[in-house]
Amino acid sequence: MGRTGRVAIVTGGARGIGRASAVALARAGADVAVADLHDALETVDLVERLGRRGRGYRVDVSQRAAVESFVAQVIADFGRIDVLVNNAGVVSRTSLEETTDEVWQRDIGVILTGTYLVTQAVYPHLVAQRSGRIVSVSSTAGKFGRTVAKTTDVASPHSGPSSPAYAAAKGGVLAFTRWVAKDGGRWGVRCNAICPGPVATEMTRGIDYSLDSLPIARMGQPEDIAEAVLFLASPASNFITGQALNVDGGLIMD
């Protein structure tokens, strides 16, 4: 990913795509600040085994005060920020009729507001140094509206189409990504998104995906997404900004 010793923040880094991304960035020479609502010690240990500095932070990305305190602490601990990976998320599986205000606010709060708040707190540091990469994990649901789950039993929290709250939040991340990309280009800041398809993580355990609809007919792995994160955080993507990269086995071709 370029110069050894760059500093990356990964939100939602305690497991799944976030953990795989933190490890990939560390393997490429980055020190990693891992943010999560849960204990991130295992991820930090994996980073440190690769010879890089790692530190975990318990953060609710939907809360401004918590985010601002977290970013200030990262600057104090590491001295700089070069890469931000917005990965914190939740998954709800309800129909429109069954979506409550609580479900809506949770999905929007963690996924969209969280991406906004962390980006807003990190952005001035990237602008000041005239360089930086922001990679936000959206979803094919942000483009497609739904997942490729076989069942439509929305009574189960682990089946059925993605909820309207989830799709709206992930779609909002894509629009926000484009805005930041247009603003940040003049300051050397690149901002892109990734749209994973079905990925085998703890969040998706128990969902029966219709994999026969995919040209690459298998579940994605967190490492598949992490490689895309690494690409967008590296000099190999210097002329790319404002894009939403599908990493989905061919589910969406645009």
Active site residues: 166
DSSP class per residue in 187-248? GTEEEEEEEE-SB-STTTTT--B-GGGSSS-S-B-HHHHHHHHHHHTSGGGTT--S-EEEES
CA atoms lying within 13 Å on the CB side of residue 34: 32
Report residue 63 as tokens: 């809360």
> How many whole angstroms separate alpha carbon 84 and alpha carbon 95?
32
Nearest to 168 by CA among 108, 224, 212, 109: 108
Other CB atoms within 10 Å distance of the CB of residue 98: 13
Helix (H) / strand (E) containing 52: none
DSSP bridge pairs for 54: 32
Give the E-state strand segments of 61-131 in sequence order: 83-86
